[in-house]
Amino acid sequence: MNERESPSTTREQLSSPFTWHVVAFVVLLLAAISLAVRLGFDWAATNSNAQDNLVSRQFELAALEHETAPLRGLDRRVSETRGQLQTFEQQRVPPNYSSIDARIGELQVASGVHLSHLQYTQGQPSSGLTEISIDAGISGDYPAIMRFINSIERDPIFFIIRTMALTGQQGGQVNLRLQLSTWLRPADAAASGLPSTPQSGSAPASAPSAAGMEGE
């Protein structure tokens, strides 16, 4: 004969502390599982954001390193540049006007050209070097003219050829006008007594020829 539980027995089981403990455990277990799943999703999202932020910071750092690369060692390069400028002044800036005039005379003789015109003027005084402008008319055969120009460009005194214009040619003789620049220290330029270089567009100043400056 099958035994059936009576209503009173079911009520007793439901009211049993053990039954409520089991129910509470199941509820807590489900809550723990739900919380763990939520934490897992949150951790994944946080980890993804952290990786994105890390990559972004790495790109920003790389960009900053690229932008600041030219500034690295700037103090050392400035010091080296100052040393190079001092060496340049010592070796290639003439001590006075007379040394410029004497050197051009030496190059004239060595190359075999004739200087028909030679005038000097000086630029505006400054805290740096003062530009000395040289207006020269030279004549000679083509090889001699080229020797003179090459010797000017390679001379230890720093010369720059500003303009070069052919003014005449007859037979094998060439007439050329050269405008050159070199530099003197401000005090040496002031002591030279050279007139000021005329500004562009103004009437040219009366500049002494090399022969007129020989007494200096």
Query: What is the DSSP annotation of 32-79?
Result: HHHHHHHHHHHHHHHHHHHHHHHHHHHHHHHHHHHHHGGGTTHHHHHH
Do residues 189 and 122 make contact, with C-beta atoms less than 8 angstroms apart?
yes
Q: Would 98 be classed as within a structural domain?
A: yes
Same domain, 126 and 194: yes
- Whether 141 has a pLDDT exceeding 50, the answer reads yes
Task: Read off the pLDDT of residues 152-200 as tens digits, 9 standing for 90 and up.
Answer: 999 999 999 999 999 888 888 999 999 999 999 999 999 999 999 887 6
Terminal Cα-to-Cα distance of the chain (whole angstroms):
148
DSSP state of 195: P
Q: How many domains does the chain have?
A: 2
Q: Would 83 be classed as within a structural domain?
A: no
In whole angstroms, how far apart are CA 134 and each of 101, 162, 166?
Answer: 10, 10, 17
Q: Would 89 be classed as within a structural domain?
A: no
Q: Would 108 be classed as within a structural domain?
A: yes
CATH code at 131?
A: 3.30.70.60
Decide which of 65, 86, 108 is a domain's last residue: 65
Q: Would 84 be classed as within a structural domain?
A: no
Same domain, 174 and 108: yes
Strands (DSSP E) contained in 68-189 are 114-122, 130-141, 160-170, 173-184
Same domain, 118 and 57: no
Same domain, 156 and 98: yes
Q: Would 82 be classed as within a structural domain?
A: no
Same domain, 111 and 61: no
Q: Would 56 be classed as within a structural domain?
A: yes
What is the span of the domain harbouring residue 26? Answer: 7-65
Same domain, 99 and 202: yes
- Whether 138 has a pLDDT exceeding 90, the answer reads yes
**What is the predicted pLDDT for the residue at 208?**
44
**What is the predicted pLDDT for the residue at 106?**
96
Same domain, 116 and 180: yes
User: With bands split at pLDDT 50, 70 and 90, how would you rate the model's confidence at 150?
Assistant: very high
Same domain, 180 and 136: yes
Same domain, 50 and 99: no
Same domain, 111 and 205: yes
Same domain, 209 and 103: yes
Q: Would 157 be classed as within a structural domain?
A: yes
Same domain, 120 and 209: yes
Phi and psi torsions of 36, nearest 5° = -65, -40
Task: Read off the pLDDT of residues 83-131 as tens digits, 9 standing for 90 and up.
Answer: 767 777 788 899 999 999 999 999 999 999 999 999 999 998 777 899 9
